[in-house]
Amino acid sequence: MFKFSSMMTEDANLYHLGGLHPVNIGDRLKDERYQILHKLGFGHFSTVWLARDHFKACYVALKIYAAEEGGRSHSSSNELKALRHLSRGSETHPGRQFIMMLQDEFFIKGPNGTHQCCVTQVAGARLSRAPTLKYNALGPARKLASQLFLALEYIHSSEIVHGDIFTSNILQQVGIFDHWSEEELYECIGTPIREKVDLIDQTEPIGTATPTYLVHQCNLAALEECLALPKIILIDFGSAFSSFKPPIEHDNLPQISPTEVLFHTTLSSSIDTWAAGCVTFEICAGYTLFKALFNRKQDVRKDIVAMLGKPPKPMWQLRPERGCYFEADGTPKKTAKGIMVKPYPLSDRIRDMTRLYSDTEDFPTAELAELYDLLSKIFLYETESRLSPSMALKHPFLSHYV
């Protein structure tokens, strides 16, 4: 076992047979073509590196998945299958530019097994509301939301469902910096910070399965400051599925999960539309629409009922905990301390966004009314009644920015 002392790196215990591949700065992959320069990100099942493609003389993002021997190849297989399929889609569709496109893929063998690798463009940090942006300026948020729905229109036209749309999977695009030298690159994003890997039992040697050091993620915010473009890019298709073959079970972040995921009913491409609605609210308001505290899925289910009211009978009967918080007709139960769940409709949630404004004269009243109208047509229990991405793009809140 290894000591794990930093939140800035992956857990060293993820490096084992069937786990992550040990990488050092300066390593070269695929016949010396890709040189590792810095770390872009990490997770339980992959690491993502900033690399120099010496064949094309450009910088790329290189993702190395956990070894296939670990039984965790489902995510990598899903993602690469979706990316291959999307790369064959229409090259003239305006939403294509907002999708992470596959540039190369290959396998490497290491001490922990055989690892799938994929190469894509370099992007910035996760989508969020700019801290300096005034809250009466919804224009930037509307533009980003329109790009997200264009991306969805492209994906769905290819019969693919993303399945995991939230702000961490939506990055800011950055301009070209292929002409930068390594020195200029490090001047912007910082030189790699290496953290020594230590065993709990110091008498045991560190084998080849584990790197001697872990690398902190580079300063993507600095890269954005230099090169940010007003464009998003949608990443991480590890949860993607064919719209013709939806999975029986699907698990993603509760705050963006639609009712059919949380109440375990039939899935369709409209799960992406619901999630895009959650993202749209978040980048307009600066906080998430639904709150998840302790029992996250149960908390979000309660919050959805507080916003939309009682769900259809088949869906309602699937959740045994409903009797703890709601009467049979869907009204919140009352106790000596008050009602268990306070009704909080979408109109009130949009209204309460105005608390962020310092001057009531600054309220973008018409824009907020349009936002409410758009989201009210997305947040519906009946999946077939929700707006499709194509229909959403014709809505006044988005259509001016398409």
Residue 133 token pair: 């942006």
Q: Kindly write down the DSSP assignment for every residue of 57-107, as one continuous string.
A: TEEEEEEEEPPGGGT-HHHHHHHHHHHHHHHTS-SS-TTGGGBPPP-EEEE
Tens of pLDDT, residue by residue over 299-332, are 898 899 999 998 888 887 766 666 677 777 777 7
Amino acid (1-letter code) at residue 243: S
What is the pLDDT confidence band of residue 205, given thresholds at 50, 70 and 90? Answer: low
Tens of pLDDT, residue by residue over 331-358, are 777 766 666 688 899 999 999 987 766 6
Q: Which helix (H) or strand (E) holds 124?
A: strand 123-126
pLDDT value for 134: 58
Binding-site residue positions for ATP: 63
Binding-site residue positions: 63
User: Cα dihedral angle (116, 186, 31, 19), rounded to 10 degrees?
Assistant: -30
Q: Has residue 364 got a pLDDT over 60?
A: yes
Amino acid (1-letter code) at residue 319: R
Tens of pLDDT, residue by residue over 88-137, are 999 999 999 999 999 999 999 999 999 999 999 999 988 865 655 555 56
pLDDT value for 232: 95
Domains of the chain: 1-125+175-229 (3.30.200.20), 246-401 (1.10.510.10)
pLDDT value for 85: 94
pLDDT value for 3: 62
Q: Which helix (H) or strand (E) holds 369?
A: helix 365-376
Model-level pTM?
Answer: 0.91
Q: Which helix (H) or strand (E) holds 115?
A: strand 113-120
- Mean of pLDDT values over 260-283: 93
- Using alpha carbons only, give the angle 388, 74, 82 rounded to the nearest 5 degrees: 40
